[in-house]
Amino acid sequence: MINNSLRKPKKLFSAIALTLGMVLSGLPNAYATLPAISTGDNASQPSLAPMLETVLPSVVSIKVEGTAQMQTNIPEEFRRFFGYPDSQSRSFTGQGSGVIIDADKGYIVTNNHVIDNADTITVVLNDGHEYKAKLIGKDPQSDIALLKVEDAKKLIAIKLADSDKMRVGDFVVAIGNPFGIGQTVTSGIISALARSGLNMNGFENFIQTDASINRGNSGGALVNLNGELVGINTAIIAPSGGNVGIGFAIPSNMVKNLTSQLIEYGEVKRGVLGIKGNELTSDIAKAFDLDVQKGAFVSEVIDDSAAKDAGIKSGDVIISMDGKPVDSFAELRAKIATTGAGRTVKLGLIRDGKEMTVDVKLKNSDESSTEAKSLHPALEGATLSNGDVKGKKGVLIESIAKNSPASRLSLQEGDLITGVNKERINNIADLRKIIDSKPSAIALNIVRGDSQLYLILR
C-alpha cells in the first residue's frame, strides 16, 4: 500500500501534501528564455545539465514502512459492551524525497508527513546505495523532519540559498522522486512569495512555484539556477486531483532555522512574540489612518510577553523583521515561530505614521508539539502558549497539525483551555501540574468563542 498524505484546505480546491509528491504545471517555453549557463561544446544551447551534475547527488529518495492507527466509527458504549478494541492498526509503505544538508554528519531534511508513523526509514542515494536512517527530530507544525544516516560514504550536501532574496519570476528547478519512478527534474519559476491562507494548519509562509512536481516529491529540493536550495517541496493545489501548476515549498531560511534546533535539541523550541493581530486590510488601514498597505497589524499585546517588554503597542503595524519585509501577519507568525527562543530580533514597525525599530528577545512559551505531547499523548500535534482572551487566562491552542492526535480530539485553533477537572488554570504550568498528578480522568474546560465545552482526554 502506498502512503499518500493529503492536505485539504477549506476551499474549493485541495492543497495536497506530497508524501508521494507535489503537483505543478511546467513552464511551456522556459528553456527558450533560460540563460545560457552550460559550458563546453554545447555552450550555445541553454542547459541546466552542468548545474544539475553537482546538485542531483544531494537529493535522495526515501522509503518508509510503518503502522498507523485506524479510527473506528463504533460509539464508545458499544465498543465497551461488545469488547471491541478502541482502534485497529494497519501497516503501510510510502515514498518521498529528501535533501542532504550536512555530508559529514549525514543529516537529511524531508517533510514530516513523509516519515510520520514510520517504523523503518530507508534512504536511497542518487547512485543507488541504500542506508537505514534514524529520526533526529520533527516539527509537525512546519512539516519538517530531520534524518541521519550512519557510515554513508561520499555524501554531497547541498548549499542553502538565502530564500529572502528570491524574487517572483526567478527560475527554479524541482528535484524529487515522483510516483517512485526515480529521480526526476522539472523547471519553472517562482510564482509568489510568502503565500499563506491555505488552511493547511501549522505555519504557512510558502514559496509558490509552477515547476511540475507530483506525488513522491515531498521533501525534495527546489533550487535556483546556481544549484542552491531555496525550498523543500511540500504541497499542491489540485481542484480535481490534476496538475494545475500551483505548488508550495518551505523556504530555505525556515528550513535552516528549524533543522539547527532539531540538531541541537531534538525538537523545536519556538520563539514567542506575544501579540494578537490581523492581516492589514484596507478597512483597518482606513480606520487607523495608516499610510501602509502591507504588514502585520497588532490588535493586542499579551502581558508579560516579549512584545510587551520591547514596548510594542496595540495599533502598531510590523513591517519588517531583521531588515527583511513582513507583508502579512501570517508571514510574521511563521517567521517568529521558526526562530529559536531566546534569540533577539529587530522588528520594524509603524506607529502614529512614523517608522521605528525595536529589539525583541523572544521568549519560550513551552509551545512545541513535543512538549504538548509530554503533557498528554492526546495533545500531540498541538501548539500551546499561555493565553489571555477577553480577560480570561488559560492555555491557548495556537495551531494543530493535520491528522494528529490533537486534531482527532476535536480541538480547534483559538480554543482556550481555562480549567481541568473543575480547577481553574492560568497557564501551561498549571495545566502540567494537574495532568502530572495523574487523575483517573481528565476533563478540559474549553472556551471557544462565546461558548464553553468539555473535552475528555484518554
C-alpha cell at position 27: 513552464
Pairing of strands 451-457, 107-110: unpaired
C-alpha cell at position 279: 492581516
> Number of helices (H) and strands (E), helices first, in the chain?
11, 26
113 labelled catalytic: yes
Which residues lie closer than 8 Å to 124 by C-beta, 6 or more apart? Answer: 60, 61, 62, 63, 130
Which residues lie closer than 8 Å to 82 by C-beta, 6 or more apart? Answer: none
* Cα dihedral across residues 102, 106, 107, 109: positive or negative: positive
143 labelled catalytic: yes
d(CA 294, CA 349): 11
Residue 447: count of CB within 10 angstroms of its CB: 20
Angle formed at CA 144 by CA 57 and CA 87, multiple of 5 degrees: 120
Residue 41: count of CB within 10 angstroms of its CB: 7
Instruction: Choose among 411, 412, 364, 369: nearest CA to 386.
Output: 364
Encoded amino acid at 178, one letter = P
Which of 61, 113, 139, 365 is an active site residue?
113
Please answer whether residues 216 and 179 qualify as being in contact, where contact means their C-beta atoms are separated by less than 8 angstroms: yes
For the residues of 117-129, what is the DSSP string, one character each?
TEEEEEEE-TTS-
Which of 218, 328, 365, 404 is an active site residue?
218
Q: Give the C-alpha distances (Å, rounded to integers) separating 27 from 15, 47, 49, 232, 242.
A: 20, 15, 17, 19, 16
Which of 5, 61, 142, 143 is an active site residue?
143
- The residues assigned a catalytic role are 113, 143, 218
